[in-house]
Amino acid sequence: MKIVSLNLENTGLEIKDLCKKLVEEADEELILIVEPREDAVKILSDAALSRISEEEAIEKLAAELNNLSRGIAEENKRIVEAEIVESLNKISEYLRAEKKAGGATPKGISLMLNTLCNTITIIVSNHFKSLGKDAKWLTAGQAGFTLIEDYELPWSHYVSLSKPEELRKALTGILVLSGRVCFDKQGNETNLRKGMGSVIAILVANEIGVKEVYVPKANGGVYTADPNIVENARVIPSLSYAEALELSRLGEWFVSPQAVELAEELGVRILVTNIKSPFKESTIIGFEKAVEKQIVKAVAMIPDMSILTVEGAAMAGTPGVASAILGEVAKRGVSICMISQDASEVGITLVVRDADLERALKGLREGFSRERIVKRIRIQRNVAVISAVGEGMRGTRGVAARIFSAVAEAGVNVLAIAQGSSETSISFVVLMEDAKKAVKAVHDKVILGIQ
Amino acid sequence: MRILLIGFGNVGRAFLQLLEEERRRFRKIGVDPKVVGVVDRGGAAIFKEGVKTSRILEVKAEKGSVAYSEEGGFPQMDALEAISIVQPDLTIEATSTSRGGSGPALKHIVKALENGSHVVSANKAPFAYDYDTVMRVALSRGRLVKYSATVGGGLPVLKTLRTLTIGDVVESCRGVLNATSNYILTLMEEGRSYSEALKLAQEIGIAETDPTMDVSGMDTAYKITIIANTIEGGHSVNEVEITGIENIRFEDLREAASSGYSIRLLGEFTEEGKLRVGPSKLKRGSTLDVSGTLNAVEFKMRRAGPVCLTGKGAGPFETAAAIIRDIFEIVEEAMR
């Protein structure tokens, strides 16, 4: 049995040849967990929030689905085409109904996303059927998966295999799961966030006693830096779980951070492969610690961020100030990407997404009105967070010096720095206009060692 | 302030979450609201030191009833018993509105008042069937009863009404008071049949699985009766002449549209003191001709003329917000 986490974010839309390769090379039963591209999901939310028109959304989704179904044999094509038309009709009806309701309803958005995910899954299963294979599709919910929410943290989100017997019942030939559609605890159909399909893949592997999950990727592996920014970026042959966890959060998409964490817990290896040979690993994730001598493995960049600095002399030695500040930001649903505080305690620097800045500020201004303690809130938009990742950094002297001298030599000013005590990564903030230069400098001078 | 929450459906849950967020605002006026008991269909949970919101929400989601809470859970304990044991300062009645009579909610409210507790209710039935009884008990016990959440939810209909009646007289009132039926009518205007529109409204979560209360006009009848009772008391929903929207065909809407009218489900309290609910033709673009999930209410004042309120109808959080506002009012009035 082979398990494949098929995220279209990784593979792109041309999946006909990938499906063919999977069938040819698997020579046994297959389980695929399918997830749509985030761009396709965004079309739905944009339309629901009236950022784009309903017509534009349907046109874009039709293009996405038609591209995906390219290469399906004639007799299956008709079924797929009918399915696409039906699901687009449904989506457009929901969009119109939402508009009448005065805006997006959570249930409406969830329904549209589920319709889209299921249609994509049906297309993938029909690619296998056109190759003469016995393929069937189910939602992850029908295969026994349930959404788990932690009531302490309203935005938290996890999935568990609550009915393993349902999964076992479904195992025959090729099983294609709609990786973002499942049930909540009350048995209502709901949808999962991006990347939860990769968590499901790990849970499936664990349940049936398989120790590997394959993640096919169009560009063939996890890279030392984004190949679109650094042309001499290379595929990294091996990553420890800790390194992969950092990179999955910071770098180019491959699996979700929760999937890496769970894989470590359950002892499952994640094999990132090339779509041209989907079972031949290019990057192996699954080592207790780094197996190579390479100190810094990869450098990643998160663009479009903002710095928020909260200052006040009275903050020093006032316990609870940091917690109050973070609490106000969290209440607005803003996730903080990086935190840094001077040892003098007179200022706390938070890095948040540009898109979240206004909400974070609102939270601080309205909720945190202790004028005598907080004197100023400064903001700097258009910055990028750059992170150097590598477990070899732990306990190795002089790595930070090498990284920052490389950045300085490239003429880039560093605005803030943070390092976790795990020492698996160092993150720093630079202006957006300097970001690519900084990534390239760290990549070439620290990772490749070019002087 | 020790609070007992009776009813732990969507509104009860939203209330607990909102209370957490508003806690600081209460502290500013020197009040520390503590929910010391929660009652649902399965029993009760009682916490001397106040409930931990996240924990009780989890128990409810996982086990179906707060009564299965490991700490403080009492399966089979009903609301009346909980009131006696907890002796709350404030009782919140948030069970679902019953049909055909006040149901257990009236008993809860009376018992709470008799035990010296103030009451905030999101349940409409007691104020539509037994308004005078509730007010008489409250008066005799010197306790306060607030029920803003029963009409308009997020829209402060009753509060506005109380303000308007100081120095002026409400002669009549009309309103689109039910978001679900208005939404269904709006969907039908696009050419859908009643059943198609209802199904779509249920799918996207606007209409409930059992939409009878909304589409039969009963919910609107409750609300217009409560408005009439707030104005002058002495009314019961039994006197309302009710027609729902189930038999409206999209051809009716089309025909109305061709002559410049739309059809809306209106609740009316006439100058003669009569109560009526039914589909009415309204001139397109007139104040009460609102679409989608909007509500609109128009009061005709003797001196000030027509006064109109328009806004989004209620969801669980809007209703919970109305409960919070009521608690604030009680605190302020009781402190005076």
pLDDT of residue B35: 96
Which CATH number does B2-153+316-335 carry? 3.40.50.720
Integer Cα distance of B75 and B275 in angstroms: 42
Name the fold adopted by B157-312: Dihydrodipicolinate Reductase; domain 2 (3.30.360)
For the question of residue B159 being annotated catalytic, the response is no
C-alpha B220, offset from chain centre: 11
| Percent of all residues in chain A with a pLDDT value above 90, rounded to a whole number | 63
- What pLDDT, on the 0 to 100 scale, is given for residue B295? 93
Q: pLDDT, tens digit, for every residue of B154-202?
A: 789 999 999 999 999 999 999 999 999 999 999 999 889 999 999 999 9
User: What gap in Å lies between CA B71 and CA A38, rounded to an integer?
Assistant: 43
Domain ranges of chain B: 2-153+316-335, 157-312
pTM comes to: 0.80
For residues B279-304, give the mean pLDDT.
94
Query: Is B55's Cβ below 8 Å from some Cβ in A?
Result: yes
User: Which residues, 6 or more positions from B328, have their beta carbon under 8 angstroms from its beta carbon?
Assistant: B26, B29
Q: Is the pLDDT of residue A155 over 70?
A: no
Domains along the sequence of chain A with CATH: 2-287 (3.40.1160.10), 298-447 (3.30.2130.10)
Contact A111 B183 (CB under 8 A): no
- The pLDDT-based confidence of A290 (bands split at 50, 70, 90) is low
Is A399 within 8 Å of A296 (Cβ atoms)?
yes
What mean pLDDT comes out for the span B24-28? 86
Segment A36-48 shows an average pLDDT of 93
The pLDDT of A24-38, averaged and rounded, is 91
Measure the CA–CA gap between B96 and B92, rounded to whole angstroms: 12
- Where residue A144 falls (left for φ over 0; alpha for ψ -120 to 50; beta otherwise) is left
Of all residues in chain B, the one with the smallest CA distance to A110 is B204
The CA radius of gyration of chain A, in Å to the nearest whole number, is 23
Q: What are A356-373's pLDDT values in tens digits?
A: 999 998 888 876 656 667
Mutate to test the interface with B, among A151, A186, A188 (most CBs of B within 10 A): A151
For residue B172, the SS3 value is strand
Band of residue A394 on the pLDDT scale cut at 50, 70, 90? confident
pLDDT band at A153 (very low <50, low <70, confident <90, very high): low
- Judge whether A102 is closer than 8 Å to chain B, CB to CB: yes
Residue A49 to chain B, least CA–CA distance (Å): 15
Say yes or no to pLDDT of A154 above 60. no
Say yes or no to pLDDT of A293 above 80: no
Cα A373 from Cα A355, distance rounded (Å): 27
Q: Do A100 and B186 touch (CB under 8 A)?
A: yes
pLDDT score at B313:
76
pLDDT at position B24: 84
Contact (Cβ atoms closer than 8 angstroms) between residue B216 and residue B178: no
Contact B39, B4 (CB under 8 A): yes
Distance in Å, alpha carbon of B140 to nearest chain A alpha carbon? 41
pLDDT of residue A419: 82
DSSP structure class, residue A334: P
Residue that wins the pLDDT comparison between A420 and B118: B118
For the CA atoms of B177, B181, B186, B192, the dihedral, rounded to the nearest 10 degrees, stands at -170
CB proximity A320 to B under 8 Å: no
In this complex, is the C-beta atom of B205 within 8 Å of any C-beta atom belonging to chain A? yes
Q: State how far residue B1 is from chain A, nearest Cα, in angstroms.
A: 23
In the three-class reduction of DSSP (H, G, I as helix; E, B as strand; rest coil), residue A146 is classed as strand
List of chain B residues whose C-beta atoms are within 8 Å of the C-beta of residue A331: 21
pLDDT in tens, B31-54: 999 999 999 999 999 998 899 988
Sheet with A145-148, side-by-side order of all strands: A158-161, A145-148, A181-183, A189-191
What is the chain B residue with the closest CA to A99?
A: B292
Q: Cβ of A102 and B200 within 8 Å?
A: no
Taking only the tens place, the pLDDT of each residue in B100-126 is: 899 999 999 999 999 999 999 999 999
Angle between helices A106-130 and A74-100 (to 10 degrees): 180
Among the listed residues A449, A388, A431, A6, the one whose alpha carbon sits nearest the alpha carbon of residue A216: A6
State yes or no: pLDDT of B140 exceeds 80.
Answer: yes
Amino acid identity, position A79: I
Q: How many CA atoms lie within 13 A of A162 on its CB side?
A: 16
What residues have CB less than 8 Å from A448, skipping those under 6 apart? A224, A232
What span, in angstroms and rounded, lies between the C-alpha atoms of B176 and B267? Answer: 7
Buried/exposed A406-417: b ≥16 CB within 10 Å, e otherwise = bbeebebebbbe
Instruction: Sort residue A423 into left (φ over 0), alpha (ψ -120 to 50) or beta.
Output: left
pLDDT at site A150: 66
Give the pLDDT score at B199.
93
β-bridge mates for residue A137, sequence order: A176
Looking at chain B, the whole-number percentage of residues with pLDDT higher than 70 is 100
Predicted confidence at residue B143, as pLDDT, reads 95
Listed residue (A379, A382, A377) closest to A354, CA to CA: A382
Asked if B185 and B198 touch (Cβ cutoff 8 Å), the reply is no
If 0-12 CB within 10 Å is exposed, 13-18 middle and 19+ buried, where does residue A398 land? exposed
CB-count burial class (<10 Å; 0-12, 13-18, 19+) for A335 = exposed
User: In chain B, what residues touch A152 (CB-CB under 8 Å)?
Assistant: 54
Q: Sheet containing A347-353: which strands, arranged edge to edge?
A: A338-341, A347-353, A298-311, A376-389, A425-431, A416-419
The pLDDT, as a whole number, for residue A252 is: 80
Question: Are B204 and A105 a contacting pair at CB < 8 A?
Answer: yes
The whole-number pLDDT of residue A326 equals 87
